[in-house]
Structure 1
């Protein structure tokens, strides 16, 4: 499918990124009280319940119909892996730094766009991508104070997120947004829900914590709907720069909720990551459209 409304796609993505930052901040806050797999179960089950209650009556069969079921399920499983590892990383590291490491994924999407999406990246794109890796190294440098295990978890999330984002772009041409969202919620609910009796630590949340638990499903569901819908209107090479706005949201929420301010070198690294990703995306060149036969 050819993107015909790039600005609409960019706007949808930016709104989705704000919700993702809210989800990450909420997850970090609650991770001090409950295990990550249990929180992930609540998030996905809440998302699934909302879809079945609100969306299913109007969408009906469209919510479960797929053209490439295997890839749809792989995408859903990839996001579940991202949720697990990012949650474990947030549990050990500040929101802003963890988010910055996570932004290796959209940068890698640009570099993988050639063999997977049929896009081309020039030499400048590769050079700025390497600059982005250098920025991440400033963030995770020895002496940064970041938990090494947390960094490993964040990098595992990057690998899974790369798969998720590429599949989102590929499946946007054949699958309905509502079906992608449903199977994402279903897979996460099954994967984490089955283990819930063994991962719940006996915590009894108060009224505020119950609201925060419920908000995770809403933040995740609506955020991923906006993210998936954005790819229907704009190409990956245009949307990739917009992803870096989440760094701003993460920094502001991390400061507002936890009072955390990254050190100078980490802030420089974040700026480098953001700028290099934007430049890489802008310099990405799409090949002429080919007729299918």
Structure 2
């Protein structure tokens, strides 16, 4: 998300892709079509990864699972940055090291909270609420980045939160304190996204990517190592799947953002919620309750409206 690039709205457990060199010399329509296929494929992989995270998180402490995943991801980040122009020496240099460290730790905490939500609430309910994070970014972009938030965006935020209330059904006896977890995760991911845009004003994208993976791995290790548990043989293949799919999905994201702008790809990342719903129902026996479906549609609709308004402002240019 440096330089105003963002992951899709349902990709909370994933880290942000780095900005990359200009698109290759191919027809624009062909590049964008390939990028859309890649973003949809990454959404499918992230949904499968969330299912694996839920399975492992129910057998082991989520913080332990996230630590192992971050170790693998940090190796991927180091190898990628080492091959980039300037290598690791350039990637590690930051004009905002404390902000970089804080946003990296914040992302780690968000992933742990979200995995815990998967275990307690299921994939469908978690993602239906987590989908509000683009609305939180819109609401917080004023105090964080000094951006002007117009009445249309505030209206979209209000509608989105009405959708969340439909999902949660407060006062019906269904609402529990655990239902706050995905909202907390969404808020953390929104702040992470805003801080990523902030550091992107001074640091190159690869620097932010390096700090995300490496500083995040160090932070989670300091806490997660105390939750170490022996891994059952039957779970080792699942752990490998979790790590390998993370690398594959991030590689697809990087390639997608090489070919097209993030603003053009953002709506297609909502396909992750479709896959999550399918996996939740067919594999984990979850129920797609009518209020969750209706509330999720409202939240996504509000998010798409904020995306559309952002596109309109970009096309209009500075006033």
Tell me, yes or no, whether TM beats 0.5. Answer: yes
Indicate which of 51, 58, 61 corresponds to 2:83: 58
Deviation of 1:35 (Å): 0.4
Give CA-to-partner distance per residue, 1:150-169, whole Å, 9 cap, x none: 22222221221111111233
User: 3-state SS of the aligned residue for 2:288?
Assistant: coil
1:280 aligns with 2:309: no
- 1: CA distance, partners of 2:196 / 2:81: 22
20-29 vs 165-174, greater mean Cα deviation: 165-174
40-49 vs 189-198, greater mean Cα deviation: 189-198
118-127 vs 3-12, greater mean Cα deviation: 3-12
Indicate which of 50, 53, 57 corresponds to 1:31: 57
1:49 corresponds in structure 2 to 75
1:175 aligns with 2:203: yes
Give CA-to-partner distance per residue, 1:166-221, whole Å, 9 cap, x none: 12333445434433232222223222222334212x343224x2122123334445
Give CA-to-partner distance per residue, 1:6-48, whole Å, 9 cap, x none: 9859746555443432322111011111001100111101111
178-187 vs 56-65, greater mean Cα deviation: 56-65
1:206 aligns with 2:233: yes
Q: TM-score, normalised by structure 2?
A: 0.75
Q: CA RMSD in A?
A: 3.4
35-44 vs 62-71, greater mean Cα deviation: 62-71
- 2: CA distance, partners of 1:168 / 1:149: 30
User: 3-state SS of the aligned residue for 1:258?
Assistant: coil
What 5-or-longer segments of structure 1 have no aligned partner? none
Tell me if structure 1 keeps the 8 A contact 2:136–2:187.
no
Tell me if structure 2 keeps the 8 A contact 1:241–1:282.
no
Give CA-to-partner distance per residue, 1:96-146, whole Å, 9 cap, x none: 110121122111212334554565544333222211111111111144746
What 5-or-longer segments of structure 2 have no aligned partner? 6-21
- 1: CA distance, partners of 2:119 / 2:4: 40
- 2: CA distance, partners of 1:120 / 1:171: 19
- 2: CA distance, partners of 1:144 / 1:274: 25
**For the structure 1 residues 39 and 235, does the alpha-carbon distance in structure 2 shift closer, same or farther, using more than 3 Å as the test?**
closer
Tell me if structure 1 keeps the 8 A contact 2:281–2:288.
no
1:72 aligns with 2:100: yes
- 1: CA distance, partners of 2:279 / 2:51: 7
- 2: CA distance, partners of 1:170 / 1:257: 40
Indicate which of 129, 144, 148 corresponds to 1:101: 129
- 2: CA distance, partners of 1:171 / 1:259: 42
Tell me if structure 1 keeps the 8 A contact 2:104–2:216.
yes
- 2: CA distance, partners of 1:219 / 1:76: 21
2:279 corresponds in structure 1 to 253
Deviation of 1:2 (Å): 8.9
- 1: CA distance, partners of 2:183 / 2:255: 23
Indicate which of 205, 213, 219 corresponds to 1:191: 219
1:131 corresponds in structure 2 to 159
User: 3-state SS of the aligned residue for 2:283?
Assistant: helix
- 2: CA distance, partners of 1:172 / 1:13: 22
Q: TM-score, normalised by structure 1?
A: 0.81
- 1: CA distance, partners of 2:219 / 2:112: 11
